[in-house]
Structure 1
């Protein structure tokens, strides 16, 4: 048990899946929370002082809250308590390489890099969701290896779990992708795979919305077995996963695509469903070499190989049930709440003294 009093600092959504899983696991380790949502991120330290917040065991700045970091760092130093940062993404990476707002060599790019670098380097512990993200934080922001730890995002196991009773493969085989249609997800390669597909009849379902949706719809014209569906409520998402036969992960070719394991992967494995996704160093090394893990790996940006892999599975639908069982075993071994608890305990136990 850790029994830490954690000051959860920032204008974050505590109901976001990463935050919910982390808080649930920390609570199981005996930790308690004080939630502090400053009115203005930049003035959070002043507000904390005026509200006379009690001195915690540590300050936790959750995902996406780089804007809250400086005030939280200043206040934590005055209180002489450690600060843990769980960024999940890099603002520099997102603005420069994903949104392409400006170049890395521009004044804005250099300024953003230096700003984020000094935030990361001041944290007592920086959490990456994958080993590759930790490598990125070390290489880009010069965060010391001793202050980096990778803890997977996981999935809410109370929601994402196998259907009871287990469903049998449908006819035609139902293939599901869901996501926000970002470049790193590579949804356009799924449409291209559908064009190349020559196996048994399948039904492609594409749930979600985002920047590449219209491009995908245009590319799919003439394909009658692809359905584009709007987002479903988060609580209803498990039903969509459970009713599908094969789930698709991500297939993008960007550097960031090789650093992430998306929510859909964790949620699919937790539901015990077969998964096809890109081969990526973000995954545990021994998992990548495991041929019986409920996952079929394909090269990123390769719609022909994706189509071949889907056809192979659709040709032998009875194997999908066994693949699903292996998928859930993979989740339990590498990404479960129990695994996250163990990693949190190991990472935070020295803050207990």
Structure 2
């Protein structure tokens, strides 16, 4: 099997989880990967601002030239692969994969719908229609489409082409936290949020909840990581609130350790259409890092991890504040940690990849 594309597993670990899960099932996976070098936010910005597209096209063509050469060498050494997995954000790469491997089962990891993501970030009109057309082209080029939730599978033009595979978390996130966190001796409840501050994440809801919890007397040590369109609003809400530390960026290899040094990891809290359809990476990563995870009570999150996380109503800052105040109680925190620990093995790569392995077997691709 080939893992193919311009993906960046360090920035976007979803494809790394799939590859590790496939290998854990005894499947040989050869990676043909030429990372494009753009973050998710940069790719979306390029697609929303057409005058920037030449930058994307030139870099994409350079990566594709390398992939074509890699493909020729791989075919000579190993023959035609039974299946080709196109990594996350592979809307363009899947077209090349279809051309290079017309007789293989092409699998598209369609974690993000371009049109849906652009809408969530405020785009409208022609740009959204063009991006929705790109989604349809990408899906049409694939034989099997991997989505992260049933809600996303139902968005496919042909849902039967889809298979739901939870995002999970790489084993690199299973790191021990600090001794004070592990023993519950921290003087304040340590809380971390990391993300791109997009509308679906609900950063203003988080900020209001932290402010109100501290006002109510909760002792919190809060770390906010990332940058994006709702960061200014979150900073405005939390201005003057003690115990809050801001980081615009943390290197991907350092992020698991930073998260593991906190007792609570925050998920997403908006009630936008996209926010109600996803289970974000940070929910799985927070669980893997040994944190108690607090996130919004939505159907996909309840199905995926509902027994192992603390759920609060979407877009309800008061409920989130109450949850943080409750977790300041040692007994409540200890019980939540037990629930979280029970879910860690369910999000390992080998486990989350099982539906994909079964689907590939059904198609005779292995």
Q: State TM-score, norm by structure 2.
A: 0.81
- 8 Å Cα contact 1:182-1:211 kept in structure 2: yes
State the 1:266 CA deviation: 0.6
- Where 1:339 maps in the other structure, the secondary structure is helix
Picking from 124, 131, 149, the partner of 2:163 is 149
Please name the residue that 2:61 is paired with.
40
| Change over 3 Å in CA distance of 1:169–1:260 after alignment to 2 | farther
| Change over 3 Å in CA distance of 1:32–1:210 after alignment to 2 | same
Question: Structure 2: how far apart are the matches of 1:274 and 1:125?
Answer: 34
Please name the residue that 1:313 is paired with.
327
| Residues 1:84 and 2:107 are matched in the alignment | yes
Picking from 316, 320, 343, the partner of 2:355 is 343
- 8 Å Cα contact 1:180-1:209 kept in structure 2: yes
Q: Deviations over 1:179-204 (max 9, x none)?
A: 22111111111111123221432222
- 1:214-253 pair list within 5 angstroms: 214-253=232-271
Structure 1: runs of 5 or more not aligned: 1-5
CA RMSD of aligned residues (A): 2.7
- Where 2:301 maps in the other structure, the secondary structure is coil
- 8 Å Cα contact 2:191-2:223 kept in structure 1: yes
Picking from 144, 151, 154, the partner of 1:135 is 154
| Residues 1:68 and 2:93 are matched in the alignment | yes
Q: Deviations over 1:92-137 (max 9, x none)?
A: 1122x1233332xx4x433432332133134110000122221222
Q: Deviations over 1:273-317 (max 9, x none)?
A: 2121101112353853x4xx3x22111111111111111221x22
| Residues 1:8 and 2:3 are matched in the alignment | yes
Picking from 191, 216, 224, the partner of 2:207 is 191
Question: Structure 2: how far apart are the matches of 1:36 and 1:273?
Answer: 32
Please name the residue that 1:102 is paired with.
124
Please name the residue that 2:336 is paired with.
323
Picking from 92, 108, 119, the partner of 2:138 is 119
| Residues 1:303 and 2:300 are matched in the alignment | no
Structure 2: runs of 5 or more not aligned: 35-58
Runs of 4+ in 1 over 6 A off after TM superposition: 41-46
| Change over 3 Å in CA distance of 1:338–1:115 after alignment to 2 | closer
- Where 2:27 maps in the other structure, the secondary structure is coil
Question: Structure 2: how far apart are the matches of 1:224 and 1:286?
Answer: 34
Question: Structure 1: how far apart are the matches of 2:279 and 2:71?
Answer: 40
Please name the residue that 2:196 is paired with.
180
State the 1:230 CA deviation: 3.5
Question: Structure 2: how far apart are the matches of 1:304 and 1:225?
Answer: 19
| Change over 3 Å in CA distance of 1:53–1:98 after alignment to 2 | same
State the 1:340 CA deviation: 1.9
Please name the residue that 1:3 is paired with.
none
| Change over 3 Å in CA distance of 1:346–1:57 after alignment to 2 | same
